[in-house]
Structure formats: C-alpha cells, structure tokens
Amino acid sequence: MPADEIYDITFNNVQFTNLSSGDLAYLNGTIEVDYTNPSMTGTLTATVSTPVSSQSYVFSSFSSDVHSVATTASSTSYSTGVPTGALSFSYNGVSPTFLYSGSVTTYSPVNETFGSPSGSLTSTPVCFASGTLIRTPHGDVRVESLSAGDMVLTASGERRPIKWMGHRRFRRDFAGRKHEVVRIAAHAFGPDRPSQDLVVSPGHAICLDLIGEVLIPAMHLVNGATVTREWRDVVTLWHVELDSHDVLVANDLPAESYLAMGNRGFFEEAGATLDSFDEGKDTTHADFCRPVIAKGPGLAFVRERLTERARSFGWTPSHDDDLRLVVDGEIRRPAGANTAETFVFPAEALDIRLVSNTHVPKDFGVQDGRTLGVHLLGLVFSAGGETREIAVDDPRLRDGVHAVEPSGLRWTTGELVLDPELWKGLSGDVSLRLTRRRGGPRKWIAPAAEPAPAARPRLYAVG
C-alpha cells in the first residue's frame, strides 16, 4: 500500500460466529489507518446475540510486521444486547500492511472466541508447513519445491496443474507469542494416514469419508494426543492453488487445496494489496469442493474415533491436578478426596497460594483458550469454633482466578493467591475446606517408546 495515504475501514454488521456454540457477534464502526503517521485509530461497538452481563471484549490483530495495542471495554449493563462500552485499538509504531487476525473474546463470565468464517474481517491462511509431501504424477514432492504449472494428483487420482503458489514466513508477534499450527501425528487417522507427521495451519481442512467425503478444519480435530496445537518461533507456510478448490494428498492424507477467501494478501507473492484481500471475501463454505463440518454429531463422531485410536496406541488421559496449598513457601497436601479437600495452616501465615496443575481446553478441541486450574464452588475457613464461608465471587478472590461463570463456579488460573483478610482474626491452626467440581483430563500421557530392537548376533564363517 502507498505510504502516504489515509484509509477508512468501515465495519457494517461484520458477523462473527462463535466456533463452539454458534452464537453470533457483530461489529460496527469505522477505523482510520494513517500511513503517514503511521497509526490506526477508531472505535468499534460489539453486539452479541446472547449477551451475558459483565463481559469484556478484546479486538486484536497480529502479524510478523503488524503491531497493535488492544484495549478492553467492560460492561455490566446491556440494552438489547449492545454493551455500553466499546472497543478501541491502535497500531504501535509500525506501518500496517495487513490485518493478520481479528477476534472478539468474552473473558467474563465465560471465554468464547468469535471467528468470522462468513464475515469479511478475519481471514487466516490455509497452508501446509515446509516439508509437507504433496502427491504428484511423479511421486511425492516437498511443497516448497513445487511451482505454478506443475502437475499434482488429487485424492480422486485426477491430474491437475497448479495455478498459483504462495508462501509466507511467520515469526513471533509483537507480544512475543509464537505462531500456532496443528500437528497431525503419523497414523492418527489410520495406517499411513498420514504416513508422517503433517503440520498445517489451524484452519486447513482435512478430508474424511463419513459415508461421503467431508472437510473438517484441523483446529476442530485437536485432541491433545495425536492431533495437537503447536507453537513455532518461526514457520513457513505454503499454499497450493488449482483452477478450482479440490483435495490434494499431503503426507498420504487427503487435505484441501487453497481457496481465496479474502486472504491471498497474506502471502508474499500477492504483495498485500487491497485487491488481494478483496478477492474471495464473499466466499463461504458453500463454495468448497466438499461439505464442511465444524460442529454437530458428525464432528463428535470423528473426534471420538480419533480418541479411540489414540488410546489404542497407548495414549492415556491424566486427571491428576496435583492440588496443594503453598504456605509461606511450604507445600501442604489436602485431607479428603473427590470434590472436597481440607488444608490446615497456621493463622500467622502471610503468603498462602492454592496451586494445581493446569490445562487449556483448546488443547482438547474445545474453543476455550484459558489456562484453567481448579473449578471452585466455595471456600470455608474455620478455627476455634468460628466458621467463615467465602463465596467464589468474593472480591478478595482476585489474584489467580477467572471471572465467575453463569453456573456460579469459578476457575482458578492454577495459582490462586489468598488474601490474608480471608482468615484475619482467626488464631491457632486454621482449616481451609474447599469444594470444587472435577473436570476432564488435564493432559495426555504419551505411550512409552518402543524398545530398540535387540542387536542381531554376528555370524562368523567356521573354517
């Protein structure tokens, strides 16, 4: 883009769809991108279809050469679903060349990420990582070695020429966050499917036959074991475009070719022009070569089968949260089990932390990127015949917790710092009893490595 111009970008009911629940959010407003400054300013308002009080919204955009500062706008009152607050954001010291990603995230009382598969704001590159082997009439070829005009073999066995190749090298964003990809382990879907680990962008769709072929974005197949999220300091992603959308064979696993959906400008070959982001911006899943599944019983069936297969390989889920109370640096274990545990500590203790293992639901395919520790129902402090019940919404519970959920429960972040005001005035040994709800697995434990084959004895000729 020219460096001496100013652009206004207007959002007119740009629709975001919640990737797990299907709820909708809409953005409206105008932002100004000033390439002479450089700066980006403006205000967006968010409207959600199923508003819940006390939510915060965050808009963010990141890339290797686009830096942004996002601020939250919290609201505790709604009128027909419109929060009283608004979003504001600006670029910070870097001339923006493109919008890498955008999201609206509700951090309170639940975390929901809204993407825009049917809108025109957010588009993400759909690509293979370097080293991916693409099937051609002459055998499998590394994706980075292919060029426009080369022939490839589709999953149906058809020979088709490559129309265009694009790539981009992604690095950490301005906040130091690594770039996310999805790794599909060898044999995750069946023998040699894929034949070796396949790394793709989260939105890249894998083709599966469920009484008819369908496409499922890789991010919806993540199970924390054989299909995992992975973060890279640096990753180079490639796309292979044919004359029309089709299914290629990548590391022996059927996966989609590239389809322009307002994202061609991500790739260096496109030059990040306005036209490159305009191309295909109205394309929807209805334009794909196969039906797309992103939720529902079909996806649930595939995920269940993936998990069954992972278990057959020896992957085992661990539910151990390693709950402990750290009292002035000393670890104390609870008495009791299941959903209620009791700790004892001296009333004069100054630094008390409820610590546990954590998990990220997104690692198990749930669209919730929070780091979660213990799911609290309530706390009770008692000593010398005095009992103090502490609700999970108590304002003194503020360091190391997520917002209270509609269910009335509250997740810790893995290290809840307890305010001494909670047991102030108690003496002697203080009993802390907590009630909580246990959840799913914290992580998957990988199968033990197969032992190396024993060395074969040498045979010597006897003369």
pLDDT value, residue 46: 54
How far, in Å, are 29, 102, 168, 250, 284 from residue 266 at the CA level?
24, 14, 7, 22, 18
Beta strands 253-256; 247-250: pairing state = antiparallel
Token pair of 314 as six digits: 């020896």
How far, in Å, are 188, 302, 324, 339 from residue 335 at the CA level?
41, 40, 10, 11
H or E stretch at 309: helix 297-312
Q: Which of 16-20, 176-180, 181-185, 339-343 has the lowest mean pLDDT?
A: 16-20
List, in sequence order, every beta strand (DSSP E) within 251-329.
253-256, 316-318, 324-327
HEC letters along 161-211: ECCEEEEEEEECCCCCCCEEEEEECCCCCECCECCCCEEECCCCEEEEECC
Considering the entire predicted model, what is its pTM? 0.65
Could you read off the pLDDT of 22-71 as tens digits, one per residue? 445 555 666 665 555 545 555 555 555 444 333 333 343 333 232 232 33
CATH topology of domain 128-313: Endonuclease - Pi-scei; Chain A, domain 1 (2.170.16)
Could you read off the pLDDT of 181-238 as tens digits, one per residue? 999 999 999 999 999 999 999 889 999 999 899 999 998 899 889 999 888 888 899 9
Domain coordinates in residue numbering, the chain:
1-114, 128-313, 324-445
The rounded percent of the chain whose pLDDT value lies above 70 is: 64
* Cβ atoms 59, 84 nearer than 8 A: no
pLDDT value, residue 391: 94
Token pair of 349 as six digits: 């203790």
Token pair of 279 as six digits: 């191309």
pLDDT value, residue 318: 84
* Cβ atoms 160, 245 nearer than 8 A: no
Residue 84 confidence (pLDDT) above 60 = no
